[in-house]
Structure 1
Amino acid sequence: MRLFITGVDADGKSCIISNDEVEINSVAPGFGIAIPYNTTQAPPPARPTGNADLIDQYLEPGHVRWMVVDQGANTETPKHHTDTLDLELVLSGSVDLILDDGAHRIEAGDMVVMTGVDHAWKAGPDGYRMTAVLIGTPAPA
């Protein structure tokens, strides 16, 4: 499993700040665990200032929504940002995560921590299904 964490570079452009393999550690016979990501404050901090359109998720800071997203083959979403921290897992298919630093191919089993930065999605040739947990964050000051 790969974990992609988004952020911004020194110029405020959206990018991947971390792309690591997630290892599941054995803690007892037949039982393993991994903690790909955790927050250190509640609600999570505000997203960086974005340049793309805001898609309002109508989710108050600290509130949580769990979604499943299906997107058909080769379809695209417009570039946008949200006032949410999204924990995403691609269940099937593939999708390009489009950030200011380029396209990143995300495949079944890969995870993304979307920190509210400017981004778009372009589904692969078979489309994709993703599950996402959205946590509301405050708007930038």
Structure 2
Amino acid sequence: MIQGRKCQKGSPDVRTLITGVDAQGKSCVVSHDDVALDQLAPGFAMGIPFATTTSPPPARPGGAAPLIDQGIAPGLVRWMVVDLGPDSETPTHHTDTLDLQTVMSGSVELILDDGAHRLHQGDLVVLTGVDHAWRAGPQGCRLSAILVGTPPPGL
């Protein structure tokens, strides 16, 4: 099972969008929360914006857009840095991975079936293999992406 943690509002510049599909199988944001940081010791705070409860992660939903096969077996991990040039766009696609993305610089729109979601530096996104595209802002965007291989739909 995949869970988004319901966090308290108010943590500056750290918000998490978690994607999924609606009852019609369309990609959408299923959770949009700020990350609460809990003070654990003086000078040390931590928050958990997302966690899985099974390994490998659950099967991804089926997608309508073309699949980009990342070549990552279920449960294996790849960490990438992605640069999107100013005003660039990717085609709509879905992946065979659970992607944990952080906007490192610039801005970008995550395009889902439910519309465009503007993201800025420090924002977090959990892409659960759903149909999506990216549209970079006027300054471009740099993303840090951790990809975890998932089983195919229906498993």
Could you tell me the TM-score, scaled by structure 1's length? 0.99
Matched residue type, 1:40: T
- Name the counterpart of 2:70: 57
* Runs of 5+ consecutive residues of structure 2 not aligned to the other structure: 1-13
- Name the counterpart of 2:56: 43
One of 78, 81, 88 as aligned partner of 1:75: 88
Q: Distance in 2 between matches of 1:65 and 1:37?
A: 17
Q: Distance in 2 between matches of 1:63 and 1:42?
A: 10
Write out the 4+ residue segments of structure 1 that deviate beyond 4 Å after TM superposition: none
Q: Distance in 2 between matches of 1:102 and 1:36?
A: 22
How do residues 1-141 of structure 1 correspond to structure 2 at under 5 angstroms? 1-141=14-154
Q: Distance in 2 between matches of 1:57 and 1:8?
A: 21
Q: Distance in 1 between matches of 2:62 and 2:75?
A: 19
* Runs of 5+ consecutive residues of structure 1 not aligned to the other structure: none
Q: Can you list the C-alpha shifts for 1:4-56, whole angstroms capped at 9, x where unaligned?
A: 00000111100000000101111111110011111000000111111000001
Identity of aligned residues (%): 65
- Name the counterpart of 2:4: none
Q: Distance in 2 between matches of 1:31 and 1:74?
A: 38
Q: Distance in 1 between matches of 2:152 and 2:99?
A: 15
Q: Distance in 1 between matches of 2:103 and 2:38?
A: 21
* SS of equivalent residue, structure 1 residue 38: strand
Residues paired across the two proteins, number:
141
